[in-house]
Structure 1
Amino acid sequence: MIRPIRRNAPRPAALCVLVAALAVSLMLTGCGGGGAQASPGRTSAVPSAQGGAPSSLPEVSLKEARQKSQEAAQELARELAQEVAQEVAQKLPQQLPGLGPETLAEVPAGTRQVVVVTGRDKDSSLSTVVLYERTEAGWKAGASWSAHNARDGWSDHHMAGDLRSPIGVFGLTDAGGLLADPGSRLPYDRSGAFTVSGTGFEGESLAGSFDYVVAINYNRTPGTSPLDWTRPLGTGRGGGIWIHVDHGGPTHGCVSLRKDRMRELLRALDPALHPVVVMGDADSLSR
């Protein structure tokens, strides 16, 4: 998240209003803040510096004063907006937080959306998910969501049945689920085959876990339904690794989020931004 900008001399929006109001006041009443107003189109008598006959000066009309004050306020607002935008840009990270050079090197240059899944440690089933989007100024972070991963943690050489989630950078190209498409921009395959039953490792019901899924392109063919069981690396290397609805406990190898978070993720992922997931325990990702 973007932290509030702290400066030695802050200029909040309220200050802009105050300055603009002061400008109007000065232009309409003069520094003295009072005095009678002359009728438009007439002149005011001003004593000369020598004490002689008064000289005549054209009086600024109320309409002209208002116009000038509005122009001054608009110019000040533009300057402040530009200044704030520059400072916000400086605060946005140029690189993805928590990722080391080895991990960053695996993120494709054309990728502008990254789902970072950070495991608590190598053997933990608890993790955090943040969706980042690349802007001209740097990477902008979305909300931070709690998640589950595989029961025994993480592996940089995932094998079928090892109860660990694979570490790495993988594309996100396909989605699906038991329920109707909630507004996904990824191709969405709705199918009754996403039905699941039984209980998880902690006795929790698995029903509804595949209501929404996003396929992680680990050992699968991109551009196909998440239900496609083609395994380019062979069946021994596992597969069927998804981001799916959380059932309240560890997974066999997937990453799971609350159902409302899954809907948000499905609506946010944009194939035009070439999204990927970067996943692993914090120590591994920091390399």
Structure 2
Amino acid sequence: MPVRKGAPALLSAGTLCAALLLTGCASPAPPAPAAPTPTHAPAPGDGRPAPAPPAAGANSLASAPVPAPRIPGIGPVTQALLPDRTAQAFVVTGATADSSTATATLYRRDPSGHWTEAAGPWPAHNALEGWTDDHNAGDLRSPIGVFGLGDAGGLLPDPGSRLPYDEDEEFAISGTGLSGEPLEGSFDHVIAIDYNRVPGRTPLDQERPLGEEKGGGVWIHVDHGGPTQACVALDREALRTLLRALDPAADPVIVMGPAGVLAR
């Protein structure tokens, strides 16, 4: 958090103590030869005793800035990208910019504003070549950023998702992945990542607001045991758990990228 210019500086405990000591070392005035002073002399002014000086550092804790709570592993730059109303964040973290494996954890913001782990962590796959902040179709990298999670679907029936769920035969897939593994069943359940798509539509929707060259169809789907083209892949049961946990009222997002970038 930047320091506000012109804010009054707090007097340090050492400076305050030194000032009090110097005041106490002043030479007393010589006694007047007048009549004896009463045993209980009144205080000057209205007769009430002068207030005691404040203790050194008494206001230090009250004036200290309270840091904003953040998601574990997420730095202030990335945290600032989260919408104000977001109370669920699915964080997918790669070890390096070129890693095709990641760790995925769902966090929930409690009423006090602090983020706590709600589900996971789970192992995950991302794109074969790792991550990029300038994704293009066919680059075999997953986009870095914070994106909404509002729509789901799959070949199989809804497992209990609170997101709108589109069950459709168009989610059927066959063939082999980038490591030769079978892809069948990968789209049994999917969650659309709001990268270059129109939110509020089925994950099958083909409109690309940024243009076809920027890619699209980036989903969270069932892990087929190898790296993806750009998507994030989770174990089947982990994905079903995530589908049941995501709450549209919490404006859920995915925060995805390599650890070094997300920590900024």
Fold match by TM threshold 0.5: yes
Structure 2: gaps spanning 5 or more residues: 1-67
Farther-moved stretch of structure 1 (133-142 vs 232-241): 133-142
Higher RCO (Cα < 8 Å, 6 or more apart) = 2
Equivalenced residues, count: 195
TM-score, reference length from structure 1: 0.67
Q: TM-score, normalised by structure 2?
A: 0.73
Q: Does 1:252 align with 2:229?
A: yes
Match of 1:178 in 2: 155
The equivalent residue for 1:97 is 72
Query: Any idea what SS the aligned residue of 1:106 has?
Result: coil
Contact 2:89 / 2:255 at 8 angstroms: preserved in 1? yes
- Give the structure 1 partner of residue 143 of structure 2: 166
Letter in 1 for 2:106: L
Measured in 2, the distance between the counterparts of 1:188 and 1:264 equals: 15
Q: Distance in 1 between matches of 2:120 and 2:188?
A: 22
Equivalent of 1:216 in 177, 193, 197: 193
Residue 120 of structure 1, CA deviation: 1.4
2:79 corresponds to which letter in structure 1? Answer: L
- Aligned: 1:108 with 2:83: yes
C-alpha distance after superposition, 1:119-158 (max 9, x if no partner)? 1110010000000011023111032000000000000000
**Is this contact kept in 1: 2:71–2:116, CA < 8 A?**
no
Distance 2:201 2:88 in 1: 20
Q: Does 1:146 align with 2:123?
A: yes
1:253 Cα deviation after fit: 0.1
SS in structure 2 of the partner of residue 222 of structure 1: coil
Equivalent residue letter for 1:165: S
1:121 aligned onto 2:96: yes
Identity %: 61
- Cα distance in 2 for partners of 1:94, 1:105 equals 11
Structure 1: gaps spanning 5 or more residues: 1-92
Q: List 4+ stretches of structure 1 deviating above 4 A.
A: none
Over aligned residue pairs, what C-alpha RMSD do you find? 0.9
Distance (Å, rounded) in 1 between the aligned partners of 2:210 and 2:136: 10
What is the DSSP-based 3-state SS (H/G/I as helix, E as strand, rest coil) of the residue aligned with 1:118?
A: strand
